[in-house]
Structure 1
Amino acid sequence: MKRRKGFQAFIVLAAAACLLLTAGCSPNLLVFNTAGPVAEVEKRLIIISIVLVSIVTIPVILLLFYIIYRYRDTPDNTAPYRPEWSESRLLEIIWWGIPIIIVGILGAYTVRDTFVLTKPQAKAGPPLTIQVVSLNWKWLFLYPEQNIATVNYCQIPVNRTVEFMLTADSPMNSFWVPQLGGQEYTMPGMAMRLWLTANKPGDYYGTGANFTGKGFAHMRFNVAARSDLEFNNWVQQVKRTAPALPDRGYAELAHPSIAEQASFSSFPPELFRKTVVRDGGMYMKKDPRKKAQTTETKHNHAH
């Protein structure tokens, strides 16, 4: 009876410790409060990972408390003493077989979802391209189709796939909007691609996830998801009211500093591509028509 009460006390103590450690965790964690299909797939993968890992961790934690109590060094302990015991095939199969099965299941889900997320998740109209340049310590968003630009915020239409093309004109960083999807690196000389979609209107928190110096804490931005009508009205308002961003303005913006939200009615042509190439890289999204035009121009010059 005493042994059973002691074991129950250990279980209660372990549960209390878990509650204490998780007391500061909010139920509305951004990664679980999803607002898009990409984030939904990733949330499902996180939940599957938690469940599979718990199959190992919870029994191990409970066994730890049980072993501490059962084999404690006290005069009244009746646990068997077997110094010649060396192995158990059953236990070997359990503690090697279960992790192997879990890794296999988790790997299958991860591979499947990773390949799913390499393609657009929504098919409502053509994707909206937004070019993103991470700077010290701010984010620049370029809209090549609309010929406008913003700093530390961007606006996107709801239920429309957004193709974020990412690069850096500063140390490497990481672009992350937790409620819309996972993070993607921004690197000098490279143009990375990230597909995201918002399936409901709202303002979503975005941030840089790589430490880049003293202004790192200010590398936050806001993603406003609005209806198509509101998005088009916003574009027209920026074109009418915001100043232009010339080459000199971009050079000043690229200087390490902390900036507030800003809008620009235009920006230098091919600013994103020139930024990537200037840092020694090549534009990721190759256009075969441009290649054909370049080849034709060389051919004409040769003649």
Structure 2
Amino acid sequence: MSRHPILVLLPLLAMLSGCNTVVLSPSGDVATQQGNLIIISTVLMLIIIVPVMILTVLFAWRYRHTNTNARYEPDWDHSTRLELIIWAAPLLIIICLGAITWAATHLLDPYRPLDRIAPGRPVAEDTQPLEVEVTALDWKWLFIYPQYGIATVNELAAPVDRPINFRITSASVMNSFYIPALAGQIYAMAGMETKLHAVINAPGAYEGFSANYSGHGFSGMRFRFHGMADADFDGWVNEVRAADGGLDTRAYLDLERPSENVAPIRYASVEPDLFRRIVNMCVEPGKMCMSEMMAIDAQGGLGMAGIENTRPLAYDKLAKRGTAAFGPDPSYVASICSTDEALAMIREAPARTPVPATPVLGAGLPAPTPAAFGLPPGPAGLMSRPSNS
């Protein structure tokens, strides 16, 4: 064995030198402010932690069993000066942490539009933010650029020093959208839309991934975020527009199927309003959107007629969707649209087995006779009330 055990740790220190410190030295202004908040909070807490650690060692050494010169006061029980030091210092630290956290929580709210792109550089009034619609799929990321009419999978790009407005949702289970160099993570949830405002301040290729476990292919939900100069970004947009194929309803439903470790895909065009339909969970043709359903429910609902307003699913990504409410065949609530579309849906709908009209008789008991109630027999053996005439 080595005579100097400390030398064994040197290879471990060399490995630590390669650790990625992007969280504390990011390239985006929002992430930089979040990193500074972590540093300030840590330093404030170390003001208490470091003295306590030092005093613990000092007291153990000062009052060790072999030190007969240490003062021994078995009857000591209180010191006002010591109590003030013990309680005042942590209280001041908590007040400082609370004030800093409260201010940062509001300034770094992901829903709050940016008012600056870097320290001392406010956002110009004529600046048009880049809109990006993000959808977490199983198990890949879909990015739609509504201003440019293009879309990509597992590839994201943005100009340097231009504010980015992310609109985020999920087509499946809850996920988490995270680019450490850009900003903090924000959750993606099905049927909901979350937001994130951020900016990248330096060109480069940065890692993005899912920060929330979402199933079998979770580890492959990674993508590259490219920070580019304006001219380079325009060239990238033109390259995407030159790609083969567009993202329409059929292409999206195929893309939505679970897949792992997906290579970047580019779509030269995007079907209008696709992201809104993803959020409202009505991409399938003829399916009612949540916004429509909520509007109908707000007016009192469809009543008994709504029971028949169901259609079988052409593709069911969860395999069991709708079985609890609509029987063994997967089905969904049909959209209320034009008369022609409604008639076409009726023609396509499978025939339903008529429900028998047999009266409910209870626990095997025979139907009561009119004579049991002192009434004359009615037509077809049914009970009838005496006429009042």
The question of a shared fold, defined as TM-score above 0.5 by the shorter chain, is answered with yes
Q: Report the equivalent of 2:341.
A: none
Matches within 5 A, 1:275-286: 275-278=278-281
Question: How far does the alpha carbon of each residue in 1:85-116 deviate from its partner, in whole angstroms, 9 at most, with x for none?
Answer: 33333333223222221122122222223322
Deviation at 1:132, TM superposition (A): 0.4
1:104 to 92, 95, 119: 95
2:234 counterpart of 1:240: no
Does the Cα contact within 8 Å between 1:32 and 1:179 map onto a contact in 2? no
Q: Which has the higher contact order (CA 8 A, sep 6+)?
A: 1
Matches within 5 A, 1:234-273: 234-258=236-260, 259-273=262-276
Which amino acid in structure 2 is aligned with residue 119 of structure 1?
P
TM-score calculated relative to the size of structure 2: 0.62
Which amino acid in structure 2 is aligned with residue 218 of structure 1?
G
2:174 to 147, 172, 187: 172
Q: Report the equivalent of 1:197.
A: 199
Which amino acid in structure 2 is aligned with residue 174 of structure 1?
S
Q: Which protein has the bigger helix share?
A: 1
TM-score calculated relative to the size of structure 1: 0.79
Q: Report the equivalent of 2:348.
A: none
Q: Report the equivalent of 2:307.
A: none
Q: Report the equivalent of 2:29.
A: 37
Following the alignment from structure 1 to structure 2, what is the Cα–Cα distance between the partners of residues 152 and 263? Answer: 9
Gaps of 5+ in 1: 1-16, 283-303
Q: CA RMSD in A?
A: 2.4
Gaps of 5+ in 2: 1-8, 118-122, 283-288, 292-389
Following the alignment from structure 2 to structure 1, what is the Cα–Cα distance between the partners of residues 36 and 67? Answer: 49
What is the percent sequence identity of the aligned residues?
40
Q: Report the equivalent of 1:187.
A: 189
2:72 counterpart of 1:70: no
Q: CA distance change for structure 1 residues 62 and 21 in 2, over 3 Å: closer, same or farther? A: farther
Q: Work out which of the two has the higher radius of gyration on C-alpha atoms and give 1 or 2.
A: 2
Deviation at 1:214, TM superposition (A): 2.5
Q: CA distance change for structure 1 residues 104 and 50 in 2, over 3 Å: closer, same or farther? A: same
Following the alignment from structure 1 to structure 2, what is the Cα–Cα distance between the partners of residues 268 and 36? Answer: 31
Q: What secondary structure, in the 3-state scheme, does the structure 2 residue paired with 1:256 have?
A: coil
Q: What secondary structure, in the 3-state scheme, does the structure 1 residue paired with 2:147 have?
A: coil
Question: How far does the alpha carbon of each residue in 1:155-196 deviate from its partner, in whole angstroms, 9 at most, with x for none?
Answer: 111110010111111211111111111111111121111111
2:83 counterpart of 1:92: yes
Between the two proteins, the alignment pairs up a number of residues equal to: 263
Q: Report the equivalent of 2:104.
A: 113
Following the alignment from structure 1 to structure 2, what is the Cα–Cα distance between the partners of residues 21 and 60? Answer: 27
2:211 counterpart of 1:209: yes
Q: Report the equivalent of 1:223.
A: 225
1:57 to 45, 49, 53: 49
Q: CA distance change for structure 1 residues 213 and 82 in 2, over 3 Å: closer, same or farther? A: farther
Question: How far does the alpha carbon of each residue in 1:135-162 deviate from its partner, in whole angstroms, 9 at most, with x for none?
Answer: 1211110111111111111111111001
Q: What secondary structure, in the 3-state scheme, does the structure 2 residue paired with 1:140 have?
A: strand
Q: Which moved more, 1:182-191 or 1:270-279?
A: 270-279
Which amino acid in structure 1 is aligned with residue 89 of structure 2?
I
Does the Cα contact within 8 Å between 2:24 and 2:36 map onto a contact in 1? no
Which amino acid in structure 1 is aligned with residue 170 of structure 2?
A
Following the alignment from structure 2 to structure 1, what is the Cα–Cα distance between the partners of residues 231 and 221? Answer: 29
Q: CA distance change for structure 1 residues 43 and 146 in 2, over 3 Å: closer, same or farther? A: same
Does the Cα contact within 8 Å between 1:158 and 1:227 map onto a contact in 2? yes
Q: CA distance change for structure 1 residues 23 and 107 in 2, over 3 Å: closer, same or farther? A: farther
Q: CA distance change for structure 1 residues 271 and 91 in 2, over 3 Å: closer, same or farther? A: farther
Q: Report the equivalent of 2:73.
A: 82
**Segments of 4+ in structure 1 off by > 6 A?**
20-23, 279-282
Deviation at 1:29, TM superposition (A): 0.3
Q: Which moved more, 1:109-118 or 1:198-207?
A: 109-118
Following the alignment from structure 1 to structure 2, what is the Cα–Cα distance between the partners of residues 205 and 236? Answer: 23
Deviation at 1:52, TM superposition (A): 0.5
